[in-house]
Chain A
Amino acid sequence: MTSLRLQNLKKRFGSTEVIRGVDLAIEDGEFVVFVGPSGCGKSTLLRMISGLEDITEGELYIGDRLINDVQAAQRGVAMVFQSYALYPHLTVKQNMGFGLKVRKVPAEEAERRVMEAAASLKLEALLHRYPRELSGGQRQRVAIGRAIVGHPQVFLFDEPLSNLDAELRVHMRAEIAALHKKLGNTMVYVTHDQIEAMTLADKIVVLRDGVIEQVGTPRELYERPDNLFVAQFIGSPRMNVLLAASVERQLATRGLKIGSAHGIGMRPEHLSVVDAGAGILRGTVMISEYTGAATLLHIELESGETVLVIHNGQNTPRIDDAIGLAIDPENLHFFDGKGEAIRPLQRAA
């Protein structure tokens, strides 16, 4: 049983509170991703789980065991660092077997476990090389291998793909997903890259300034963000948010009332280009960015606001063309003056 429970977890460095009361439940075998902008506390939270940072306040359980005061090595967790943290003076094999050696696991058993992990990560041919002789992707695999050999209950990943180039990142992302499927362990993964979060996670935890903004599946976060911050953080390009007042009239003509909404959110991929005069918005194409699969249009609206549109179809409008924009009302997001989402039920009320 390797579920995790974080209860009102707080962390202070001197007088600065970086984690300000986090409550979270992570189920056995779940792949949870902490995501948020730089400085939001996601890495600190991960290090608190690992035991590398003390817990200032609150309670942390692995299974039913309170582990606030349990030493890092006794928590049954393994961590993969952003820097890989491979010891440069040891070979791949020695790096992978380091933890077993310090724990005095019998040599034969250690050898077997290292070879097993090496085989599963296709590292056999590299076992006698030093980290400096490996590529970034290979180093990352060794770091994962080192985590595997300890047979941890929980894997912690601290931005493990940040140092890789874009192509390799996609490849390693798939490898980590495959590893989770194969091992079935509980995994907690920190990233600032929302694509990584969306593709890997069973559950995403969005953090800002040391507090959780929302917890949910990738689909929930994308389709039903709790607030403006999550709405704009999840999804790329970010969601357009318009002042409700500026589109009130157009929405009313289609029988939609904005109620108490202060802002209206529309994802660029949900807007479609129609003839000028049709749709709910009217504007002029200012910039057109062709990306191959689609064209990214920057549209200046009559209200003076700018929206982004991902245009997939043919007949791409040209710069300075006057166009209309349509959207399925189901895909509109309503936010109140504080940036909190207004759900349809609330709106009806």
Chain B
Amino acid sequence: MADTLTNHVSARGLRAPRFSLRQREAIEAWLFVSPTVVGFLLFFLGPLVAVVYFSLTEWNLLTQQSTFVGIDNYVDALSRNPDFWHVLRNSFVFALGLVPLNMSLALMLALALSRPFRGVVFFRTIFFAPVVTSAVAWAIVWKFLLQGEAGAVNQLLAVVGIDGPNWLREPDWAMVAVIVTRVIKMVGLNMILYIAALQAIPRDYEAAARLEGASNWQIFRMVIWPLLAPTTLVIFVITMIGSFKVFDHIYLMTGGGPENGTLVLAFYIYEQGFKFFNVGYASALAMIMFVIVLALTVVQMILRRRDMQ
């Protein structure tokens, strides 16, 4: 048998393969992942390394002069420049306003729309549609709606006897207006995530709890809410990160004003880099934002791991 095989192989002139099966599998695997790896290196890791380097220089985009300044830009942001803390505070105010509002609204909508009833698909579509609407169109339309006396929002309020403020021209109201319009735009995404999580909870849990005498509120608080915890954590983190990165709404609706009342970190970085051409300083700010978002992600991973255990 072995002889026959040897003869057969030599007759066909076959040689031992150049790569072992294991090596061939490794090569194939790398070929499959290479598009992603190349993209990651070119568009994520490369720029990240570049930003780290830029953040250690004083580089003016106009004069094209670059000087290595060490951690000066970081020291500038954290201790010398009062604007940074004001901007950071605005970012946190934006996040703390948006995240609870978005999440609670998303949960309420999901609870209402997770069970089948006539028209449920229509309502889900209505609440999800803004998510896929152009952010630019959304912001511009709302900018018109929120105009002082001429705006549709204030005209509606006037019908019920409320004298609405000039939403986008008063610092405190501008922040509220930006948060609310952003929530309306993005709440559909979290609603869908919550609907998926709610539909994954077996109906028997609710039936068992109801038979044991639990009220609707008790069922929600003692059964549904704990079972939603992993989803809530994910939604919390992605919404928090998203709110830190908000740019388009601010750029189009308030431009960071009035009186820097809506000047948040991402928009401030844009201004420093592309308006005032302080690329080094903007890069240092971007790194600080990266660290904040990274820290939030790490916290999420730790909490999830603990939750899974």
- On whether the two chains bind one another, the answer is yes
Min CB distance B276 to A, Å, is 52
Count residues of chain A with CB under 8 A from any CB of chain B.
21
Q: Which residues of A contact B213 (CB under 8 A)?
A: 73, 99, 102-103
Contact in complex: A102, B218 (CB < 8 Å): yes
B96, CB-defined interface residue at 8 Å:
no
Q: Residue among B202, B207, B211, B218 with the most chain A CB within 10 A?
A: B211
A73 with B205: CB separation less than 8 A: no
Question: Measured between alpha carbons, how far is A88 from B226 in the docked complex, in Å?
Answer: 9
The answer to whether B209 touches A98 (Cβ under 8 A) is yes
Cβ-defined contact, B210 with A87, below 8 A:
no
A89 to B223, alpha carbons, bound, how many Å?
8
A280 to chain B, nearest CB (A): 52
CB-defined contacts of B205 to chain A, threshold 8 Å: 85, 87
Q: Do the beta carbons of A79 and B208 come within 8 Å of each other?
A: yes
Whether A61 is near chain B, meaning CB under 8 Å from some CB there, is: no
Would you call B28 an interface residue if the criterion is a C-beta within 8 Å of the partner chain's C-beta atoms?
A: no
| Cross-chain contact A52 with B209 (CB below 8 angstroms) | no
Q: CB-nearest residue of chain B relative to A79?
A: B211
Partner of B211, one of A52, A83, A88: A52
Cβ of A83 and Cβ of B202 under 8 Å apart?
yes
Compute how far the CA of A85 lies from the CA of B203 in the bound complex, rounded to whole angstroms: 9
In the assembled complex, B152 has its CB within 8 A of some CB on chain A? no
Q: How large is the interface on B (under 10, 10 to 19, 20 to 34, 35 or more residues)?
A: 10 to 19
Query: Shortest beta-carbon distance, B219 to chain A, in Å?
Result: 9
B289 located at the interface, meaning its Cβ lies under 8 Å from any Cβ of chain A in the complex: no
Q: Specify which chain A residues have a CB less than 8 angstroms from the CB of B214 in the assembled complex.
A: 73, 98-99, 102
Whether B259 is near chain A, meaning CB under 8 Å from some CB there, is: no
B211 touches A50 (CB 8 A): yes
> How far, in whole Å, are A182 and B227 apart by their CA atoms in the complex?
36
Say yes or no for A51: interface residue by CB 8 A criterion: yes
Contacts A85-B204, A89-B227, A102-B222 known; A52 to B212 CB distance under 8 Å? no
* Distance between Cα atoms of A99 and B208 in the complex (Å): 9
Q: Determine whether the beta carbon of B204 is less than 8 Å from that of A83.
A: yes
Tell me the minimal C-beta distance from A220 to chain B in angstroms.
Answer: 32
Chain A contacts with B in 56-103, Cβ cutoff 8 A: 72-73, 77-79, 81, 83, 85, 87-89, 98-99, 101-103
Q: In the bound complex, do residue B211 and residue A72 qualify as a contact, i.e. CB atoms below 8 Å apart? A: yes
Chain B residues with CB below 8 A from A263, complex form: none
Report B-chain residues with C-beta under 8 Å of the C-beta of A72. 210-211
Contact for A73 among B202, B204, B211, B227, CB less than 8 A: B211
Q: Closest residue of chain B to A149, judged by CB?
A: B212
Q: Give the distance to chain A from B242, nearest Cβ to Cβ, in Å.
A: 28
Given B212, B215, B226, which contacts A89 in the complex, CB threshold below 8 Å?
B226
Which chain B positions have C-beta within 8 A of A87?
A: 205, 209, 223, 226-227
B211 touches A98 (CB 8 A): no
Closest to B206 in A: A85
CB of B218 within 8 A of CB of A52, answer no
**What is the interface of chain B, defined by CB distance below 8 A to chain A?**
202, 204-205, 207-215, 218, 222-223, 226-227, 229
Q: List 15 A-B contacts (CB under 8 A).
A: A79-B208, A81-B204, A83-B202, A83-B204, A85-B202, A85-B205, A87-B205, A87-B209, A87-B226, A99-B211, A99-B214, A102-B209, A102-B214, A102-B222, A103-B213
Contacts beyond the supplied A85-B202, A85-B204, A98-B214: 14 A-B pairs with Cβ under 8 Å: A51-B211, A52-B210, A73-B211, A73-B213, A81-B207, A85-B208, A87-B205, A89-B229, A98-B209, A102-B215, A102-B218, A103-B212, A146-B208, A150-B212
